[in-house]
Amino acid sequence: MVNDRKKKLLQAILMEFIANAEPVGSRTLTKRYDLGLSPATIRNEMSDLEEMGFLLRPHTSAGRVPTEKAYRYYVDQMMKTYELTNDEKAIIAGKINNTMNELDKTIKHATKLLSELTNLTSFAVTPKKESDRLQHIELLQIEGNRLVLVLVAETGKTSTVVMHSHSRYSEDALAILERALSIEYKGKTITESLTMDIADTIKNDAPAVAKLFSEISPSLASTLRGMLETDIYMEGISNIFANPEYSDNVKASKFIDMIFKKDDFTRVLSNRDDGIIITIGEENEDDALKNSTLITATYHVDGEYIGKIGVIGPTRMPYGHVTSVIKYLTENVDKSFNKDLNPE
């Protein structure tokens, strides 16, 4: 049984090891923490914690390090909500609110912020959304004979493609085709849009732009297919090399290989539950993550599940701070898009 004294000592050991990545001895604990215990008592308690599986003594050191069991116990039994600083809150709210009209940009910013605030490798995943519906279509002409097609889904997911046309079209022609496309596609799911053949409809209802439609059709279809692909954003990959846990080239290579295998990484994430989920070391199913902690959270648009955002790092991480950053970040993403899609 972990009594209050052992719990207090274990928390001190975890704090010390997370901060310095060095085995923790009784002398260090006596000097730096007000535990109200003698060095001899601390040594005895540490021996008990070792026997209970919470501590491990590296073979070359007199100090001890926390085990994965210790981190799990801390997360489940001792971790307290960390209050973000006003500066951290302002940075998160400011960045998210500045891009709240565009989901892709918002998630990219959120991923970058998460890495900067935690000094870990961060990621965000937007899964396939066959049920996502088209909300807006825009057709623009830029310099020369180049056209820009913009598709926006109800979730805010935006796809843009630049095309080369055989000739330059008038603004009226572009406006007519844009209106015709909006009539046909707006409110349709992306999957439905891919199965629709509107060439005859365009030819009958807007014959003046039938040629223009035939030019953009291939790009329209490929852009729609692209909107069904899983997007993965990653930031701070180099942060892992600042941690001694990844000084081993084999471990570092496995880690890098894992996160760059899009399909494998997406599979790992798709199997995780909603909410903030923390898996530590051996709890992770993939071998490449057995030495790491994976923390994920879900984000929503208009209350509907959209994707996951989170961090990967060593098991030695400040869990309270990291989970608080992720929680505050996802709350701001949810709030921004709920407010944007449901204006009062």
Question: pLDDT of 138-148, one tens digit each?
Answer: 998 887 788 99
- Tell which of 191, 226, 261 closes a domain: 226
- State the Cα–Cα distance between residues 45 and 26, nearest whole angstrom: 10
The pLDDT of residue 141 is 85
- State the Cα–Cα distance between residues 277 and 288, nearest whole angstrom: 18
Confidence of residue 298 (pLDDT cuts 50, 70, 90): very high
pLDDT for 71-91, tens place per residue? 999 999 999 888 999 999 999
Sorted by sequence, the CB contacts under 8 Å of residue 91 that are 6+ apart come out as 113, 117
For residue 269, give the CATH number of its domain: 3.30.450.40
The pLDDT of residue 99 is 63
Regarding whether 138 and 123 lie in a shared domain, the answer is no
Regarding whether 206 and 336 lie in a shared domain, the answer is no
For residue 221, give the CATH number of its domain: 3.30.390.60
Q: What percent of the chain has pLDDT over 90?
A: 53
pLDDT for 303-340, tens place per residue? 777 789 999 999 999 999 999 999 999 998 888 776 54
Q: Which amino acid is at 338?
A: N
The pLDDT of residue 128 is 65
- State the Cα–Cα distance between residues 206 and 208, nearest whole angstrom: 5
Regarding whether 142 and 117 lie in a shared domain, the answer is no
176 has pLDDT over 90: yes
Q: For the residues 247-267, what does the mean pLDDT come to?
A: 77
Regarding whether 328 and 251 lie in a shared domain, the answer is yes
Q: For the residues 262-290, what does the mean pLDDT come to?
A: 87
Regarding whether 238 and 217 lie in a shared domain, the answer is no
Regarding whether 264 and 193 lie in a shared domain, the answer is no
Regarding whether 142 and 21 lie in a shared domain, the answer is no
Regarding whether 156 and 67 lie in a shared domain, the answer is no
The pLDDT of residue 270 is 79
Regarding whether 234 and 222 lie in a shared domain, the answer is no
Which residue range forms the structural domain that includes residue 240?
86-127+230-341
Regarding whether 267 and 198 lie in a shared domain, the answer is no
Half-sphere exposure of 126 (CA within 13 A, CB side): 23
Regarding whether 263 and 295 lie in a shared domain, the answer is yes
Domain count, the chain: 3
- Tell which of 189, 210, 226 closes a domain: 226
Regarding whether 310 and 221 lie in a shared domain, the answer is no
- Tell which of 37, 58, 78 closes a domain: 78
Residue 309: CB atoms within 10 A of its CB come to 25
116 has pLDDT over 60: yes
Q: For the residues 202-218, what does the mean pLDDT come to?
A: 90
